[in-house]
Structure 1
Protein backbone atom coordinates (compact mmCIF):
# COMPACT_ATOMS: atom_id res chain seq x y z
CA UNK A 1 0.00 0.00 0.00
CA UNK A 2 2.84 2.39 0.79
CA UNK A 3 4.46 1.89 -2.65
CA UNK A 4 1.15 2.65 -4.34
CA UNK A 5 0.80 5.92 -2.44
CA UNK A 6 4.34 6.95 -3.35
CA UNK A 7 3.64 5.99 -6.97
CA UNK A 8 0.51 8.13 -7.08
CA UNK A 9 2.43 11.08 -5.62
CA UNK A 10 5.14 10.65 -8.27
CA UNK A 11 2.53 10.55 -11.04
CA UNK A 12 0.77 13.69 -9.80
CA UNK A 13 4.06 15.53 -9.37
CA UNK A 14 5.25 14.38 -12.79
CA UNK A 15 2.11 15.58 -14.52
CA UNK A 16 2.47 18.94 -12.77
CA UNK A 17 6.10 19.20 -13.91
CA UNK A 18 5.19 18.37 -17.50
CA UNK A 19 2.44 21.01 -17.46
CA UNK A 20 4.85 23.58 -15.98
CA UNK A 21 7.49 22.79 -18.58
CA UNK A 22 4.99 23.05 -21.41
CA UNK A 23 3.73 26.39 -20.09
CA UNK A 24 7.29 27.72 -20.15
CA UNK A 25 7.85 26.25 -23.63
CA UNK A 26 4.67 27.89 -24.96
CA UNK A 27 5.17 31.30 -23.32
CA UNK A 28 5.53 34.43 -25.44
CA UNK A 29 9.08 35.02 -24.18
CA UNK A 30 10.09 31.50 -25.13
CA UNK A 31 8.50 31.78 -28.57
CA UNK A 32 10.38 35.00 -29.22
CA UNK A 33 13.62 33.43 -28.05
CA UNK A 34 13.10 30.41 -30.28
CA UNK A 35 12.35 32.68 -33.25
CA UNK A 36 15.52 34.72 -32.73
CA UNK A 37 18.03 32.14 -31.55
CA UNK A 38 16.37 28.78 -32.15
CA UNK A 39 17.02 27.58 -28.60
CA UNK A 40 14.46 26.23 -26.16
CA UNK A 41 14.77 27.37 -22.52
CA UNK A 42 16.46 24.89 -20.20
CA UNK A 43 13.61 25.18 -17.69
CA UNK A 44 11.15 23.90 -20.29
CA UNK A 45 13.28 20.85 -21.06
CA UNK A 46 13.92 20.17 -17.38
CA UNK A 47 10.22 20.34 -16.55
CA UNK A 48 9.05 18.13 -19.38
CA UNK A 49 11.80 15.51 -19.13
CA UNK A 50 11.80 15.49 -15.33
CA UNK A 51 8.02 15.16 -15.29
CA UNK A 52 8.11 12.26 -17.72
CA UNK A 53 10.70 10.50 -15.57
CA UNK A 54 8.58 11.06 -12.44
CA UNK A 55 5.51 9.65 -14.18
CA UNK A 56 7.48 6.58 -15.30
CA UNK A 57 8.79 6.00 -11.76
CA UNK A 58 5.26 6.40 -10.41
CA UNK A 59 3.85 3.85 -12.83
CA UNK A 60 6.52 1.31 -11.90
CA UNK A 61 5.87 1.92 -8.18
CA UNK A 62 2.17 1.22 -8.58
CA UNK A 63 2.76 -2.16 -10.22
Structure 2
Protein backbone atom coordinates (compact mmCIF):
# COMPACT_ATOMS: atom_id res chain seq x y z
CA UNK A 1 0.00 0.00 0.00
CA UNK A 2 2.79 2.40 0.87
CA UNK A 3 4.54 1.92 -2.48
CA UNK A 4 1.36 2.76 -4.36
CA UNK A 5 0.87 6.01 -2.46
CA UNK A 6 4.46 7.03 -3.13
CA UNK A 7 4.00 6.11 -6.81
CA UNK A 8 0.90 8.25 -7.15
CA UNK A 9 2.61 11.18 -5.43
CA UNK A 10 5.60 10.85 -7.77
CA UNK A 11 3.33 10.83 -10.80
CA UNK A 12 1.52 13.97 -9.62
CA UNK A 13 4.81 15.72 -8.85
CA UNK A 14 6.21 14.63 -12.22
CA UNK A 15 3.23 16.03 -14.10
CA UNK A 16 3.50 19.33 -12.21
CA UNK A 17 7.25 19.51 -12.78
CA UNK A 18 6.87 18.78 -16.49
CA UNK A 19 4.17 21.41 -16.83
CA UNK A 20 6.37 23.95 -15.05
CA UNK A 21 9.30 23.11 -17.33
CA UNK A 22 7.14 23.52 -20.42
CA UNK A 23 5.81 26.82 -19.06
CA UNK A 24 9.37 28.09 -18.62
CA UNK A 25 10.27 26.82 -22.10
CA UNK A 26 7.29 28.60 -23.66
CA UNK A 27 7.72 31.92 -21.81
CA UNK A 28 8.39 35.15 -23.68
CA UNK A 29 11.91 35.58 -22.27
CA UNK A 30 12.76 32.02 -23.25
CA UNK A 31 11.53 32.63 -26.79
CA UNK A 32 13.72 35.72 -27.06
CA UNK A 33 16.71 33.82 -25.68
CA UNK A 34 16.12 30.98 -28.13
CA UNK A 35 15.89 33.45 -31.01
CA UNK A 36 19.19 35.10 -30.06
CA UNK A 37 21.25 32.17 -28.76
CA UNK A 38 19.37 29.21 -30.08
CA UNK A 39 19.38 27.60 -26.63
CA UNK A 40 16.57 26.89 -24.21
CA UNK A 41 17.05 27.75 -20.52
CA UNK A 42 18.45 25.03 -18.27
CA UNK A 43 15.44 25.32 -15.94
CA UNK A 44 13.10 24.32 -18.76
CA UNK A 45 15.04 21.18 -19.61
CA UNK A 46 15.54 20.31 -15.95
CA UNK A 47 11.81 20.61 -15.29
CA UNK A 48 10.75 18.54 -18.27
CA UNK A 49 13.38 15.81 -17.82
CA UNK A 50 12.84 15.71 -14.06
CA UNK A 51 9.11 15.40 -14.62
CA UNK A 52 9.53 12.47 -16.97
CA UNK A 53 11.86 10.72 -14.53
CA UNK A 54 9.40 11.23 -11.64
CA UNK A 55 6.54 9.87 -13.75
CA UNK A 56 8.54 6.78 -14.78
CA UNK A 57 9.62 6.04 -11.21
CA UNK A 58 6.05 6.57 -10.03
CA UNK A 59 4.72 4.11 -12.62
CA UNK A 60 7.31 1.54 -11.54
CA UNK A 61 6.30 2.00 -7.89
CA UNK A 62 2.64 1.38 -8.67
CA UNK A 63 3.29 -1.94 -10.42
Q: TM-score, normalised by structure 2?
A: 0.99
Distance (whole Å) between structure 2 residues aligned to residue 9 and residue 37 of structure 1: 37
Note the C-alpha offset of 1:32.
0.3
C-alpha separation between the residues in 2 aligned to 1:58 and 1:28?
Answer: 32
Give me the CA root mean square deviation.
0.2
> Where in structure 2 are there 5+ consecutive unaligned residues?
none
2:35 matches 1:21: no
Structure 1 position 5, deviation (Å)? 0.1
1:41-60 matches, within 5 Å, as 41-60=41-60
Runs of 4+ aligned structure 1 residues displaced above 6 Å come to none
CA–CA distance in structure 2, aligned partners of residues 37 and 5 of structure 1? 42
Unmatched tracts of structure 1, length 5 or more: none
